[in-house]
Amino acid sequence: MLTVLSGTLEPTATYCRRSWVWLSTGSGEAVVPRTGEVVPCLGLLWITVQHRPRRWYELPHTTGTLPAYFAKKPAGVEVDQYAVEELEPEQPGTRLFALLNIHDREQGEPYRVTVGGVNRCRCLAGVCRVPSGCKHRSAVIALIEAGALEESRELVPY
């Protein structure tokens, strides 16, 4: 069954807008375009974030001398697409998900996102405990709340 859901996430200190789209075809797998590999997954997750406008022009040492390029530069938008798979949790009472960025060659291993109990993500922002949190964890929690990640399958041990 085809399932498409979408929603927004709370803005953060870094991003003024964050949103997600979920697509599940029910096939239980997806192709990773960068490798051609077929991976098991519950569905595909797009996360879009928009950076807050750059405020460099407010720094005292640049006042009045800023090149027009910077003043006119639009706030950047980033879109990432992940294959999401649920794994056997490390601790009871939690759920563990693997988010594999299917386009980013820099990401070797999927980010492991734990929710319930201590919510955490093993991405750079998640490990570093950025105060505003990471988009992976926020999106997975939103997916659970939207009913996209029902517990119904045998889980793959990590």
CA–CA dist 121, 78 (Å, integer): 19
As measured in angstroms, the least distance from the Cβ of 38 to Zn ion is: 24
Q: Of 115 and 134, which CB lies nearer to Zn ion in the complex structure? A: 134
89 or 111: CB nearest Zn ion: 111
Smaller CB separation from Zn ion, 121 or 149: 121
Q: How far is the CB of 111 from Zn ion (least distance, A)?
A: 5
Q: Where does 2-158 show beta strands of DSSP type E? A: 3-9, 15-24, 29-31, 38-40, 43-51, 77-87, 95-101, 111-115, 120-121
Contacting positions for Zn ion (CB under 5 A): 121, 123, 126, 134, 136
